[in-house]
Amino acid sequence: MMDAFDRFGLLINDRVVRTPVAVASMAGIVDADYLLARKDHIGLGFIGGYSIDAPTMEAAKVVAAEDGRKEFITEDPIAELKMQAAKMERSDVVLGINLRGSSPESFSRVAQALGDKVVYEIDAHCRQPAVVAAGCGEFYLKNTGKLVAAVRALKNEGVTVSVKIRAGVAGDDRALAEQLWEAGADILHIDLMDFGTAKLRQIRNSCPLMIIANNGITTFERMKDMLSHGADMVSVARKSDERTLAGLDAAITRYADEEGWYNAPKQLCRGGDIRSLTFCCMPVKECPLIPMLSRTGISHDDFVKMKLGGVADTPLDTGRQTCFGSLAWCCKTSSPCMFRDMTLKQAGIAKKEYMRLKRELSDTIMAQVFHDVPPVKRS
């Protein structure tokens, strides 16, 4: 599994995630057996959704009876979840459980029973009327205070928390992302609907959470588009057949091995997200960097210090013949640059290694932006 970590650098619950391809929950369909049948091509899988208290269990029965939809209906959800989790112990797939609960206490009870070996995903996504009326699903996106309370209840149990949302339902997805991050969420699983990469970039610029992009991501080109605009992983639901998953897994593995940074952002001047600050030159001209620094609350001088400090004592701390005297300011390898390439050749740094180092610099910048800089409005 170390090869997978070197390739993608993804860890959840102290476990290496072997590929940034995930399976999203589908009520009545995705259980442990469903994930195990696809285990060779996914790194993370969410079973469920499982209703975990009386209001949501009753809602599941209504949905199944009135709409004819499949549902996981059990009178003892904790026993069922324990059985499902036990089945997954023999695989390398990190397990997430998508939960429909109407109160913070409902989520706490499940976490107390199952412990910290699984990812707990709050279902703030389902739009079935009976589920929403039970105080779950999209109800949470209209009542974000209750969603925050559910996140905090789970974090009090010391577990990893994911929140599955549907973009465009809450009043402001960026503000919601910030709220969830501040409440302690670890993962934001976003059904982007028809919003695409612009919405994803906005959310990425608002929080440092792990982001899983969802909805219609069945080709490598679409997957790469999501990864280059802020996603750490992608998930597939209705099209999570073995052929589709195998194709995505193989393609992103090849790409990572060739490029060195599997989800490298586009450059900021080409629509990139906040991670692309790693590729920006010095703030000496009017360009997209200037408003980005203003929104993040970073002065020009502090940005210079941040980047130069981030490459100190690393192979990127070289390049006198480059435009600004250091590889810290150099662009993405997909952009032609004779000075950068000449420096890399002289220093014996392969382009793949250069991109890996740029990713490390991006991680340093992200940590400082979201943890060391006072919060300001970001977009």
Closest CA to 59 of 108, 106, 6: 106
Helix axes 242-259, 351-371, angle to 10 degrees: 100
Q: Is the pLDDT of residue 376 over 50?
A: no
What's the average model confidence in pLDDT over 344-368?
96
State the average pLDDT for the chain.
Answer: 95
pLDDT of residue 77: 97
Question: Of the candidates 317, 184, 331, 223, which has an alpha carbon nearest to the alpha carbon of residue 267?
Answer: 331
Sorting pLDDT into bands at 50, 70 and 90, what band is 378?
Answer: very low
| Superfamily designation of domain 2-259 | Aldolase class I (3.20.20.70)
pLDDT for position 371? 86
pLDDT, tens digit, 9 for 90 and up, residues 74-95? 999 999 999 999 999 999 999 9
276-279: long-range pairs with CB below 8 Å, 24+: 276/362, 277/303, 277/307, 277/362, 277/365, 277/369, 278/307, 278/358, 278/359, 278/361, 278/362, 278/365, 279/330, 279/331, 279/332, 279/358
For range 165-173, the mean pLDDT: 96
Per-residue pLDDT, averaged over 5-29, amounts to 97
Q: Which pair of tokens denotes residue 309?
A: 């400090």
CA 317 – CA 150 distance, rounded (Å): 45
Q: How far apart are CA 234 and CA 226, in angstroms?
A: 8
Can you give the pLDDT at residue 373? 58
DSSP code for 161: E
Coil, strand or helix: which one is 228? coil
Cβ–Cβ under 8 Å, residues 205 and 379: yes
Distance in angstroms (rounded) separating the CA atoms of residues 304 and 121: 39
Q: Quick one: what percent of the chain has pLDDT higher than 70? A: 97
Domain range summary for the chain, segments of one domain joined by +: 2-259, 268-371
Residue 142 has pLDDT above 80, yes or no: yes
pLDDT tens per residue across span 42-84: 999 999 999 999 999 999 999 999 878 899 999 999 999 999 9
Task: Write out pLDDT tens, residues 265-304.
Answer: 999 999 999 999 999 999 998 999 999 999 999 999 999 9
pLDDT in tens, 190-226: 999 989 899 999 999 999 999 999 999 999 999 999 9
Q: Evaluate whether 180 touches 153 at the Cβ level (below 8 Å).
A: no
Query: Chain-centre distance of CA 41, in angstroms?
Result: 18
Task: Identify the pLDDT of residue 374.
Answer: 53
Record the tokens describing residue 115, joined without a space: 């412990």
The string of pLDDT tens digits covering residues 105-139 is 999 999 999 999 999 999 999 999 999 999 999 99
- Position 1 scores a pLDDT of 52
pLDDT at 194: 86
Tokens 């650098």 appear where?
Answer: 9
Does 375 score more than 50 pLDDT?
A: no
Q: CB of 97 within 8 A of CB of 85?
A: yes
Q: What is the pLDDT of residues 218-253, one digit of tens each?
A: 999 999 999 999 999 999 999 999 999 999 999 999
Beta partners for residue 12, in sequence order:
15
The DSSP output letter for 375 is P
Q: For position 196, what pLDDT does the model report?
A: 86
For the cut 50, the answer to whether the pLDDT of residue 315 exceeds it is yes
Q: Tell me the angle at which helices 351-371 and 300-311 cross, rounded to the nearest 10 degrees.
A: 130
Give dist(CA 75, CA 59) in Å, integer: 13
